[in-house]
Amino acid sequence: MPLITLTSDIGKSDYLTGAIKGQLLQAVSGCHLVDISHELTPFNYPRAAYLCRNAIKNFPEFTFHIILVNLFENRNDHLLLAFHRQQYILCADNGLLTMITEGRPEIVIGLPMDKSVHRDTLQAVRVFGKSIQSIRDGESIHRIGISDVDIIEKNPLRPMLGDNWMEGHIIFIDHFENVVINITREEFESQRKGRRFTIAFKRDEVIDKISDTYADVPEGEKLALFNAAGYLEIAINKGNAAGLLGLQGYTENQSAHIQNRLFYQTIRIFFE
């Protein structure tokens, strides 16, 4: 039974969420569908890459991951099918793939789209479904599309580094308004080199230690910890850190309206 995950920026109110599943149930015999999220922020590649990367790695090997994000940002005549670290990833050729895999995937092929058919989300899903069924029928991945296709590549959002500091962007705000920074535990420790540190944001908010759990600080107190994905998180015990601390997710073009409200998209760590 092929396992297929679905991630999109469509939302839950649109009929497309159900229609996509209906198309896949027709195209892929006996498949099992799992939703990761349909609430991704449109055009926010760092957030989509963070969510997809850290969900995908927890699934059984040879799972098929369909990612419907910014499908038609470019006028490409193909979609992408990649195989990387024992997982299949199917998405548009818009740069998101290399942000998820943090480099060019082990195998990536182009899936041609019929130029005579109107291009829309359901057509893309049918192309994905057909390729999944072909693989399940024993077809080689290299024979169902264009091997070694040229793809759009975008780099994952990395923290900025200095001798005595590092700066990260807010890439995700969860349901509890805990704030996730694009700094992993490994990156933090590598830059820290055993030194003392201060995590600073806004004008006078600082944290100088890493907690293990939210309960390490009193209720209503701010804290920093590394979440289950290994990324730095700023939180308030039983509070909403994003709203109370004036923090918001990273966007490439911050509007003047947001800037005037003094929301902050980055945090800086100082070492001494």
Q: What is the spatial distance between Cα 43 and Cα 172, in angstroms, rounded to a whole number?
A: 14
Domains and CATH numbers, the chain: 3-147 (3.40.50.10790), 160-271 (2.40.30.90)
pLDDT at 258: 41
Q: What is the spatial distance between Cα 25 and Cα 114, in angstroms, rounded to a whole number?
A: 21
For residue 183, the SS3 value is strand
pLDDT at 42: 85
pLDDT at 150: 92
Q: What is the spatial distance between Cα 251 and Cα 125, in angstroms, rounded to a whole number?
A: 28
Burial of 271 (0-12, 13-18, 19+ CB in 10 A): middle
Task: Please choose, from the candidates 62, 57, 152, the residue with its C-alpha nearest in 3D space to the C-alpha of residue 108.
Answer: 152
pLDDT at 75: 79
Mean per-residue pLDDT pooled into runs of 10, the chain (272 residues):
95 92 97 96 92 97 97 87 98 96 96 87 96 96 91 94 95 93 97 96 85 96 96 95 80 45 74 96
The 3-state DSSP composition of the chain as helix, strand, coil percent (nearest 5) reads: 25, 30, 45
Instruction: Kindly state the tokens that stand for 17.
Output: 């969420």
> DSSP label at 157?
P
Q: Could you count the other beta carbons within 10 Å of the beta carbon of residue 76?
A: 18
pLDDT at 257: 40
